[in-house]
Amino acid sequence: MSHALAGLRVLLGVSGGIAAYKGAELVRRLRDAGAQVRVVLTENAARFVTPLTFQALSGNPVRTSLWDESAEAAMGHIELARWADEVLIAPASADLIARLAQGQADELLTTLCLACAAPLSIAPAMNQQMWAHAATQANLVTLRARGVRVFGPGVGEQACGDVGSGRLLEPGEIVEALAATRAPRVLAGTRVLVTAGPTFEDIDPVRFIGNRSSGRMGFAIAAAARDAGAQVTLVAGPVNLSTPAGIERVDVRSAQQMHAAVLARAAGADVFISTAAVGDFRPASVASQKLKKTDRNSGLTLDLVQNPDILAEVADLPQRPFVVGFAAETHDVEAYARAKLERKNLDLIAANQVGEGCGFERDDNALLLIWPGGRQELATASKLTLARDLVAHIAHLRAARGAAA
């Protein structure tokens, strides 16, 4: 699978602010994602970071002024505007946002924005007070109404010492946000239900049986399904992850709670993707007080009962969605996954190897997709890239089924 932005021509505008230095990393990330990058710095941005830095990283000449005769003789500003498939401004300062909202063309970057027909995305970065100011917010309303996409800003500690909203998103997040806007809308109009994370099965008020699932794969799938146009509900076990924008999240703790949350929603879903590492067993009863050691040598036997198999139950519903399971295995991945596909009556299973150095608690992964009648390997990639491929695959299989019906 090629990168999300492969071959895309991105005109990156960098405006003046301390976050301009992050623009350098952004160029690298864009190129890693397969994009061609040309950089335009405002005069103020060039006070923070030199054009040479961006030239070296982008592999292309950098423009800073409308009045550069040699540049205008080569790739003039109108050519540059025609060249771009996407215009991305990061960081976008309060001043630049104001000038864009006014439609000004008093220097190269704003002139390019007026002269360019490509979609415009901005990643704002400024002091939290400036971000919250009514003037800035009014300018953003204007820009959004014109179709400008606004990425972030993030919340946190700022270069000036303030804490609040106005931080530039991390370069990786900006690349993901741009890639999301380019995702094909293959699940438009569908409702997708996703489970993610571990479940915690309480033993007593302080102890539980859990597992090492971080929830990252499920959250990435929920985001990829949203980007593909689906209306997404994410049923999440106890995880330490923020909810992707535009997704309905239902928090649960135990397998039984996850079971109730899923079964209440499954009949209304078109696709169910079961990424959660659901605990197979739970203590037969939860002690109301903390269990105590009695003496030095005695052990403790926990009585466990089986949890409901949420995935199998959804697959057994009379009006069932398209059902996708996961199989995390330490060995014989394909054989176990195939058996699970058949036993649980699934439409598709995504199998991966877990254990030392792979699977849980990582940002990348590899998957083997198996469905009745086919298989496909998805090589090691970021969980978001894999999630996009999986979503594309689901859409393809559903479409093929629709065509066959």
Least Å distance, CB 359 to ligand C5P, is 13
Closer residue to ligand C5P in complex, CB, 39/328:
328
Q: Are the beta carbons of 75 and 60 closer than 8 angstroms?
A: no
Least Å distance, CB 399 to ligand C5P, is 23
Least Å distance, CB 220 to ligand C5P, is 15
Q: Quick one: tokens of 169? A: 């998103």
160 catalytically annotated: yes
Closer residue to ligand C5P in complex, CB, 177/266:
266
Closer residue to ligand C5P in complex, CB, 309/389:
309
341 is a contact residue toward ligand C5P (CB under 6 A): no
What is the Rg, in whole angstroms, of the alpha carbon atoms belonging to the chain?
A: 25
Closer residue to ligand C5P in complex, CB, 20/310:
310
Q: How far apart are the C-alpha atoms of 70 and 80, rounded to whole Å?
A: 14
Q: Are the beta carbons of 134 and 147 closer than 8 angstroms?
A: no
Closer residue to ligand C5P in complex, CB, 21/281:
281
Residue selected from 57, 255, 333, 384 as contacting ligand C5P according to rule CB under 6 A: 255
> Which residues are 14's β-sheet partners?
41
Least Å distance, CB 363 to ligand C5P, is 20
Q: Are the beta carbons of 168 and 153 closer than 8 angstroms?
A: yes
Cis before 124? omega within 30: no
Least Å distance, CB 307 to ligand C5P, is 5
List, in sequence order, every beta strand (DSSP E) within 50-130: 86-92, 120-124
Q: Are the beta carbons of 84 and 10 closer than 8 angstroms?
A: yes
Q: Interaction with ligand C5P in 266-325: which residues (CB under 6 A)? A: 274, 276, 278, 280, 307, 309-311, 325
How many whole angstroms from its chain centre is CA 187?
A: 16
Q: Interaction with ligand C5P in 139-158: which residues (CB under 6 A)? A: none
Q: How far apart are the C-alpha atoms of 293 and 363, rounded to whole Å?
A: 39
Q: Interaction with ligand C5P in 190-229: which residues (CB under 6 A)? A: 195
Nearest of 351, 381, 339 to residue 275 by alpha carbon: 351
Size of the site for ligand C5P (CB under 6 A): 14
Residues of this chain that interact with ligand C5P (CB under 6 A) are 195, 255, 274, 276, 278, 280, 307, 309-311, 325-327, 340
Task: State the catalytic residues.
Answer: 160
